[in-house]
Amino acid sequence: MRHNRFVTPALILACGGSVVLGAPPVVSTFDTDDEGWSTDKDARNFRWEGEGGNPGGNVAADDVGTGQYWRFDAPAPYLGDKSSSYGESISYDIRQLGTVGTVTNQPDVRLTGAGITLEYRFGVAPGGDWSSFSVQIAAGIGWTRAGSPATEADIRAVLADLTHLSIRGEYRVGADSAALDNVSMGRGCAADFDGNGLLNFFDVSAFIAAYNNADPAADLAAPFGTFNFFDISAYIAEYNAGC
């Protein structure tokens, strides 16, 4: 990736902008219903539960135990053209119930689009308490395509026409159950770069650090793969728009 120049927080704070891009995050809290989620493979008894979540409601399913590894499938709001989600994150809370040996060789998050399937493995399994997981949707952090590292071009192609997003629901050999809560795709307030819910100098500093280090999270505008004024202008617009 190429930089046209390095920048400082003072430069951004002195500028204004008019670029508008990005999309609000997609979030499922399951507080009132299942929000269109479903399951695949040998899951049974998929259900919405109004309590027991983290907090509030959640969705859950049971494993039939036929040897297939079932997954939670995301509904339409998570699919389609999600190009603006490159560099952002997929996060969720999950809880497993079961006592038989842990399965560790299955992908935790799977994205499909443009004839490409991407997979990500956290390498750890949740237990009976709620566990939180989050993965950035970007190259170089562990996404694979057919067992090989996924490139930025691979990930951008999938996000441009995302047809399937699923989250692993089964971790254990034999029949068990799993519950899912607080799924989100996207960073939320794009200008809140340090993620603390406030917009201030520290967010600007965090963006500049990401930009100067060629972090994909700061590659906000075309031409992608090149860090230049368009990325800076995009961030200025997001910052000025507030949260």
User: Using one digit for the tens of pLDDT, what is the confidence trace for 135-161?
Assistant: 989 899 999 999 999 999 999 999 999
User: What tokens appear for 36 in the block?
Assistant: 């269109």
User: What tokens appear for 34 in the block?
Assistant: 């299942």
What is the C-alpha separation between 69 and 221, in angstroms, rounded? 38
Residue with tokens 């120049």: 5
pLDDT of res. 35: 98
148: helix, strand or coil: strand
| DSSP characters over 146-209 | TTEEPPHHHHHHHHHTEEEEEEE---BSSS-EEEEEEEEES-SSTT-TT-SS--SHHHHHHHHH
pTM of the model: 0.72
For residue 112, the surrounding DSSP H or E stretch is strand 109-113
Angle subtended at Cα 179 by Cα 48 and Cα 49, rounded to the nearest 5 degrees: 25
Average pLDDT over the chain, rounded to an integer: 84
Burial 155-182, CB ≥16 within 10 A → b, else e: bbbbbebbebbbbbbbbbeeebbbbbbb
What's the sign of the alpha-carbon dihedral 45, 51, 55, 57?
positive
**38 vs 88 pLDDT, higher one:** 38
The dihedrals phi and psi of 203, each to the nearest 5 degrees, come to -65, -40
For 24, counting Cβ atoms within 10 Å of its Cβ (0-12 exposed, 13-18 middle, 19+ buried), the class is exposed
For residue 233, the surrounding DSSP H or E stretch is helix 229-241
Residue 216 has pLDDT above 80, yes or no: no
Q: Give the pLDDT confidence of 42-99 residue by residue, as tens digits.
A: 899 999 999 999 999 999 999 887 778 899 999 999 999 998 788 888 999 999 886 5
Q: What is the DSSP letter of 118?
A: E
pLDDT of res. 104: 67
Task: Report the first-to-last Cα separation within the chain, whole angstroms.
Answer: 29
Of 131-140, 207-216, 219-228, highest mean pLDDT: 131-140
Mean pLDDT across 236-240: 82
What's the sign of the alpha-carbon dihedral 221, 227, 230, 233?
positive
pLDDT band at 16 (very low <50, low <70, confident <90, very high): very low
76: helix, strand or coil: helix
By the 8 A CB rule, do 186 and 89 touch? Answer: yes
Q: Give the pLDDT confidence of 155-196 residue by residue, as tens digits.
A: 999 999 999 999 999 988 777 899 999 999 986 566 777 766
What is the C-alpha separation between 147 and 242, in angstroms, rounded? 40
| DSSP characters over 192-211 | -TT-SS--SHHHHHHHHHHH
